[in-house]
């Protein structure tokens, strides 16, 4: 790692916000040497609680995140916020910039807000976002909140980055809940019906409870009273021999007024406790790192192959060879991968000791 990056890392670990901002910029822009910089962050991570906030556009995600940050600060916690914005078609950067609706914590240096470009990745999350989380974690932020762009069902990516995922559902729209059934249920640890003072909120809560019940294989979901800020409590396990299972609760909030925000935080905390007690937190972290390894390998192998193809005259020349009958795509792919396969057979992970229990 270069001397400049070493000093930048030192400043970040000392709690200098300017260094944190510079590190995230280097990560997002993929400047030379950023990989060594990110690698050096790992040994300083693992203490932050990472929460993902996702949902359809207009559900009030930014307002809720603002109130969550304010509430966490009242508890004495430091907060990092990563707001994933749509990518500009011209610059590739974030369109909205730092969210103007997240105004309650302006001037509070212990709330660090960063907007990042979605860069066209599934669910609005790029590899850079996961690396930015590590930077905030290493910096010492107690809670890190990631707000996604709300790009439909592809938000499965957020699961690989957050410990707890909250899905916001707007009230009074049966169609939106029907859409959730196609896949969002499996990524939600907490459902939040925001704008719960609007007509249709009770109906939306009930539809979510029914959906959760079906998703749990028909196990009864606790209903109870659903006033603003009320929750549907996680169902108790049938047996106390093993870890408690987790059923996503439904929380009602009115973020503009701060109503129900405390209940949402309580559920986030309960989910974190469940993850730690059941061992699921370690499982999620292992899954996250496995996906990071796969992503980096895909990116690096792709870059390597692109370079090899360029040296062979480029894809267009190879495509022309296929068109004229001189070869075929499968033969070209096999030939290009021969050298990679040879390297993998000789691969030794020097300095990496894998212990098996």
Q: How remote is the C-alpha of 304 from its chain's centroid?
A: 28
Q: Are residues 272 and 173 in the same domain?
A: yes
The two tokens of residue 339 are: 């050298």
Q: Are residues 240 and 295 in the same domain?
A: no
Is residue 34 within 8 A of residue 22, CB to CB? The reply is: no
* Residue 35 included in any domain: no
Is residue 235 within 8 A of residue 241, CB to CB? The reply is: no
Give the containing element (helix H, strand E) for 49. Answer: strand 49-55
Q: How many CB atoms sit inside 10 A of residue 199's CB?
A: 8
Is residue 186 within 8 A of residue 158, CB to CB? The reply is: no
Whose CA is closest to 79, among 30, 56, 112, 128? 112
pLDDT score for 221: 40
Its sign, for the CA torsion 136, 137, 143, 147, is positive
Segments of 170-307 assigned E as strands: 190-193, 250-252
State the total domains in the chain.
2
- Residue 140 CB-density burial (10 A; 0-12 exposed, 13-18 middle, 19+ buried): middle
* Residue 34 included in any domain: no
pLDDT score for 275: 95
Q: Are residues 264 and 298 in the same domain?
A: no
Distance, in Å, from the CA atom of 223 to the CA atom of 273, rounded to the nearest integer, reads 22
* Residue 17 included in any domain: no
* Residue 10 included in any domain: no
Distance, in Å, from the CA atom of 41 to the CA atom of 50, rounded to the nearest integer, reads 16
pTM: 0.81
Q: Are residues 110 and 216 in the same domain?
A: yes
Q: Are residues 328 and 189 in the same domain?
A: no
* Residue 73 included in any domain: yes
Q: Is 262 helix (H, G, I), strand (E, B) or coil?
A: helix
Give the containing element (helix H, strand E) for 282. Answer: helix 280-311
Q: Are residues 177 and 320 in the same domain?
A: no
Distance, in Å, from the CA atom of 133 to the CA atom of 125, rounded to the nearest integer, reads 11
The two tokens of residue 141 are: 């932020």
Q: Are residues 273 and 145 in the same domain?
A: yes
Say which CATH number the domain at 158 has: 3.40.50.300
The two tokens of residue 196 are: 């719960």
Residues 25-55 pLDDT 10s: 999 888 899 999 999 999 999 999 999 998 8
Q: Are residues 155 and 194 in the same domain?
A: yes
Q: How many CB atoms sit inside 10 A of residue 256's CB?
A: 15
Q: Are strands 49-55 and 164-169 parallel, antiparallel or unpaired?
A: parallel
Q: Are residues 241 and 200 in the same domain?
A: yes
Residue whose structure tokens are 């930014």: 62
Q: Are residues 63 and 93 in the same domain?
A: yes
pLDDT score for 124: 42
Owning domain of residue 225: 45-278
Whose CA is closest to 126, among 96, 101, 149, 103? 149
Whose CA is closest to 189, among 65, 81, 272? 272
* Residue 353 included in any domain: no
Q: Is 193 helix (H, G, I), strand (E, B) or coil?
A: strand
* Residue 315 included in any domain: yes
Segments of 75-175 assigned E as strands: 79-85, 111-117, 143-147, 164-169
Is residue 221 within 8 A of residue 206, CB to CB? The reply is: no
Q: Are residues 273 and 312 in the same domain?
A: no
Distance, in Å, from the CA atom of 32 to the CA atom of 174, rounded to the nearest integer, reads 49
Q: Is 176 helix (H, G, I), strand (E, B) or coil?
A: helix
pLDDT score for 296: 85
Q: Are residues 273 and 311 in the same domain?
A: no
Residues 207-221 pLDDT 10s: 889 888 876 654 434
Which residues of the chain carry a pLDDT beneath 70? 86-107, 118-126, 151-159, 173-185, 215-243, 347-357
pLDDT score for 177: 67
Domain end point (choices 258, 278, 298): 278
Give the containing element (helix H, strand E) for 120. Answer: none
* Residue 356 included in any domain: no
């Amino acid at each position: 790692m270069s001397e400049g990056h070493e000093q930048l890392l030192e400043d970040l670990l000392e709690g200098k916000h300017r260094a944190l901002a510079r590190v995230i910029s280097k990560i997002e822009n993929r400047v030379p040497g950023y990989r060594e910089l990110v690698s050096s962050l790992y040994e300083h991570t693992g203490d932050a609680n990472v929460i993902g906030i996702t949902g359809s556009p207009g559900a009030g995600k930014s307002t809720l995140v603002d109130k969550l940050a304010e509430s966490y600060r009242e508890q004495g916690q430091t907060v990092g916020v990563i707001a994933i914005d749509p990518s500009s078609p011209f610059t590739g950067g974030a369109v909205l910039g730092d969210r103007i609706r997240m105004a309650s914590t302006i001037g509070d240096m212990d709330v660090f807000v960063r907007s990042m470009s979605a860069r066209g990745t599934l669910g609005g999350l790029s590899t850079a976002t996961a690396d930015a989380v590590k930077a905030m974690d290493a910096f010492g932020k107690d809670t890190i909140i990631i707000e996604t762009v709300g790009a439909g069902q592809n938000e499965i990516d957020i699961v690989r980055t957050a410990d707890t995922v909250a899905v916001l559902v707007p009230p009074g729209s049966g169609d939106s809940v029907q859409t959730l059934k196609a896949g969002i249920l499996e990524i939600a640890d907490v459902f939040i019906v925001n704008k719960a003072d609007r007509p249709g909120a009770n109906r939306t809560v009930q539809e979510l409870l029914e959906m959760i019940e079906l998703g749990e294989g028909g196990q009864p979901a606790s209903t109870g009273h659903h006033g603003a800020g009320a929750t549907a409590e996680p169902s108790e396990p049938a047996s106390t021999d093993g870890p408690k299972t987790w059923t996503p609760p439904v929380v009602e909030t009115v973020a503009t007024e701060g109503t129900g925000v405390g209940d949402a935080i309580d559920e986030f905390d309960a989910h974190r406790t469940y993850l730690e007690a059941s061992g699921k937190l370690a499982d999620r972290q292992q899954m996250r790192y496995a996906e990071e390894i796969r992503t980096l390998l895909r990116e690096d192998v792709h870059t390597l192959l692109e370079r090899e193809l360029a040296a062979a005259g480029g894809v267009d020349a190879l495509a022309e060879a296929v068109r004229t009958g001189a070869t075929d795509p499968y033969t070209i792919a096999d030939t290009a991968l021969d050298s990679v396969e040879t390297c993998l057979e000789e691969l030794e992970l020097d300095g990496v000791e894998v212990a098996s229990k």
